[in-house]
Structure 1
Amino acid sequence: MKSVTVEKFFPSLASDTVTRVDAILTDTSARLWGVLSSGKKILRKARG
């Protein structure tokens, strides 16, 4: 119910928030993926 009310009164604010959250999630997952893949490379070098 709350989100419907927010979207009625603040459509641009709601979409801005969603866009921002989406961007943060994308950025965070990209960084985590980068850390994981570089970590795997380091482990491979250490092993052999």
Structure 2
Amino acid sequence: MELAAALSRSPVTVKRSLKELEDIGLILRVRRGVGEPNRIYTLLPKGGLP
């Protein structure tokens, strides 16, 4: 996993962290077709930024 290497973290740690961020609504992961990179979008919390 390219992101894990860039962050010097294990792939399991990165996958778990991405899942947590997605579950609380801070990112949106869009899975694409075979051979295509997935997209990760950052989202603003409800109510916007302080």
TM-score range, shorter chain: 0.3 to 0.5
Greater Rg over alpha carbons, structure: 1
Greater length-normalized contact order (CA 8 Å, ≥ 6 residues apart): 2
Higher helix share: 1
Higher strand share: 2
The TM-score, its normalising length taken from structure 1, stands at 0.37
The TM-score, its normalising length taken from structure 2, stands at 0.36
